[in-house]
Amino acid sequence: MTVVFDTGSDLSWVQCTPCSDCYEQKDPLFDPARSSTYSAVPCAAPECQGLDSRSCSPDRKCRYEVVYGDQSQTDGALARDTLTLTPSDTLPGFVFGCGERDTGLFGRADGLVGLGREKVSLSSQAASKYGAGFSYCLPSSSSAAGYLSLGGPAPANARFTAMETRRDTPSFYYVGLVGVKVAGRTVRVSPVVFAAAGTVIDSGTVITRLPPRAYAALRSKFARSMGRYGYKRAPALSILDTCYDFTGHTTVRIPSVALVFAGGAAVGLDFSGVLYVAKVAQACLAFAANGDGADVGILGNTQQKTLAVVYDVANNKIGFGANGCS
C-alpha cells in the first residue's frame, strides 16, 4: 500500500471497502472481509478511549474521526489487524482506522501513517519491537529515493537538539529553533521571538512557518544576497512572497541557509529546501510567515529534504544529518 507518513498526527488509517465517501486512490481499497486477522475495536477498549474524537456504533464498536490542519479529514471504524512491513516483518494487533469517509489533500495515497507521540501512532505501537524512535529522509525530488526506518542507529554525522514537549499538545515533536543563518551569517532575530510559541517539526506540512519578525528578517537578508547575483524578481506564489525569475540562467547560485537549534546545532539546507521551484520563471523562497507571533512555528517537509531526520524518542532528542538519502 502507498501511504503518507505524518509526524504531526497519531492514528494510521487506510481507505476500506465498503466506503461511502472515498477519494480515488492508487491501489484497490482494503477489504476487511478478506483478512482473517482483522477485528473491530470495542468502544470500551483503552485504544478507543484514548482517541481525541470518537463515537460508538449501535453494536458498541469504536468509531474515529480525525480532522487535519488543512481541513482534510477521515472517519470510520477503529480496528486491529496484522501490519506487514516486509514479507518477513509483521506487527500483530496493530490498531488503525478503516476509513469510510475521507476527503482532502491526500493525493492518491491509500491512507496515512501517524508517527506522533501518542500511544496509537505506528512508532509508539512498534517501539517494543524496534525501539523508541524512527528516522527518515525525504528526497529532493519524486524521481529520487528516500526512506522511513523504525528504530536503527543514527547516522554518524547527525547533529542533535533536545526534543521538547508541550502539555497542551503532547502529540507534537517540538524543537528549540533559535535562529537562522543566511550566507553563513546569523540573521538578527532574538531567540525569544522563536521561543514565544515554540516550533513543531512536521513531515505533513509542506512549507516552514516562522514568526512574522523572524520571517521578515530572513526574507530581507535572503533578498539582499540574491540581489547581488542580479536575478529578476518574479510574482508571488500563494503564501510565498519572495520569488525569482531564472530564465536565461544556465546555473543558479543562492546563498546558503541554515537553521540553528538550541545546543548549537546548525543544520544546512539543501537547494531544494531553500527554494520552491514552480517553474524556471518562478522560484520562491520556501518559507512563510505565521499570521501572528503567538502562532506555533512549523518546520515543514520542504526544509527537511535530503536530511536524515532522526527521532530518538528514548533519549528525547532529534537529530539531522546531511546527505541522508544517499
Our answer to whether residue 6 is catalytic in this structure is yes
Active site residue 202: yes
CA nearest neighbour of 13 among 44, 53, 46: 53
* Bridge partners of residue 16, in order along the sequence: 30
Q: Which of 86, 96, 173 is nearest to 132 (CA)?
A: 173
Torsion of CA 218, 140, 318, 183, to 10 degrees: -30
191 three-class SS? helix
Among 6, 102, 110, 312, which one carries the catalytic annotation?
6
CB 135 within 8 A of CB 149: yes
CA 169: distance to chain centroid? 16
**Strands 89-103, 13-15: pairing kind:** parallel
Alpha-carbon distance of 137 to 159, in angstroms, equals 15
Q: Which of 75, 202, 270, 312 is catalytic?
A: 202
What is the torsional sign of CA 35, 81, 138, 200? positive
Cβ-contact 312, 320 below 8 angstroms: no
What does R_g of the chain's alpha carbons equal in angstroms? 21
Active site residues: 6, 202
